[in-house]
Homo-oligomer: A and B are copies of this chain.
Amino acid sequence: MVGAKVVGDASTVIKGVAGVREAVEGEITFASSPRYVRLLEKSRASAAVVSRGAEGCGRMSLLVVADPDDAFSKIIECFAPPSPGYEPGIHPTAVVADDVRLGRDVSIAAHVVIEAGSSIGDGTVIRPLVYVGHNVTIGGECLIYPNVTLREDVKIGSNCIIHSGAVIGSDGFGYVTRKGRREKIPQRGTVVIDDDVEIGACVTVDRARFGRTWIKKGTKIDNLVQIGHNVVIGENCLLVAMVGLAGSAHLGDNVMVGGQAAVEGHTTIGKDVVVGGRAGIMKDIPDGMRVSGFPAKPHREELRLAASILRIPGLFERVRELEKRFGDLEHATDNDRQGD
């Protein structure tokens, strides 16, 4: 099935898949890096998928392939439970406004609410307990998981996935302070999400103050990410969990942002930029750079700085030593002169 060369017992019966450390007898695992090949020695798995060159490892049967990761994906599918099917149609408990336009084969599950003026494209699946606000547009072949909130006027493209607990179109955070009181600045724009976007669980995307907060085609966002009002995210970006983008930040295409990183409001990040985990971006970043640290700087510079910082206690000792030797020398020199 995966075009593997078998090393060891080809008749081993496999009942499931698991990670190297969790696998028990009767399970197959895989190792695509030297680190995991080493862990195979102690694994209880009955079989493993490995790359060429790792034929000798472990005591289990081995499937030797060119790309263990890809081969293992196929094996995973064999053992995976069937995905739940979603019947087209509207569940009787769903509350769908009369004027909502529904495409073909739309599936609307139990306790969904869809407000007036909205439209849902062909083949889109809306799971239970989802809220779709007034005048929302959702394209075709989308999958909206339970307990998602899509506020009024939001536009979602085709082939998008939105995970549970996500909130799209909440008000941006903006106030003016008058006589010590915080007065709300109306947030009158919306959110536009283009095709092929995936949005993680409990992600919050604020609507724009005006115009739109915009997530472009093919971008993927992990869980618990915050997207501020009027943010623009380019195509095919990856945002790892817990990232925060402040209002009006702009990301170019193909930007990757590591977990817990943050981007200051009104900053521009060029295309193809890689932002390290927990980096804090305080000013514009040109195309193609790799940055990390807080405040963010070129990654090599940050590595050099981080290495220097670890050696600081030693630097204090060196300066203390210099001061001592210097004092001694000054003393000796003075004595020399006095001795002249």
Contacts and interface: CB of A to CB of B under 8 A. Distances in A.
Interface of A: 16-19, 21-23, 27, 35, 72-73, 76-77, 79-81, 83-84, 91, 93, 95, 109-111, 113, 115, 127-129, 131, 133-135, 145-147, 149, 151-153, 161, 163-165, 167, 170-171, 173, 175, 177, 180-182, 184-186, 188-190, 196, 198, 200-202, 204, 206, 209-212, 214, 218-220, 222-224, 226, 228, 230, 232, 236, 238, 240-242, 244, 246, 248, 250, 254, 259-260, 262, 264, 266, 277-278, 280, 294-295, 304-306, 308-313, 315-316, 318-319, 322-323, 325-326, 329-330, 332-333, 336-337
13 contacts: A19-B230, A27-B211, A72-B210, A84-B115, A129-B131, A145-B149, A182-B218, A182-B238, A204-B223, A242-B262, A259-B262, A264-B277, A319-B319
Contact of A224 (B161, B181, B226, B312): B226
Given A165-B202, A175-B238, A182-B238, 17 more contacts: A17-B210, A19-B210, A19-B232, A22-B214, A23-B211, A76-B210, A127-B131, A129-B129, A149-B201, A164-B170, A180-B236, A182-B218, A200-B204, A277-B280, A278-B280, A305-B312, A309-B309
A90 to B, nearest CB: 13
Nearest to A117: B84
Nearest to A225: B224
A211 B81 contact: no
B163 A171 contact: yes
A175 B152 CA distance: 30
Majority DSSP secondary structure for residues of A touching B: loop
A220 to B, nearest CB: 5
A33 B294 CA distance: 25
A184 B198 contact: yes
Contact of A226 (B242, B262, B318): B242
Contact of A200 (B173, B250, B259): B173
A241 B220 contact: no
Given A204-B200, A259-B244, A311 B322 contact: no
Nearest 7 CB-CB pairings of A with B: A80-B188, A131-B146, A149-B164, A18-B211, A170-B201, A167-B201, A204-B223
A305 B316 contact: no
Contacts of A173: 200, 220, 222-223, 240-241
A270 to B, nearest CB: 13
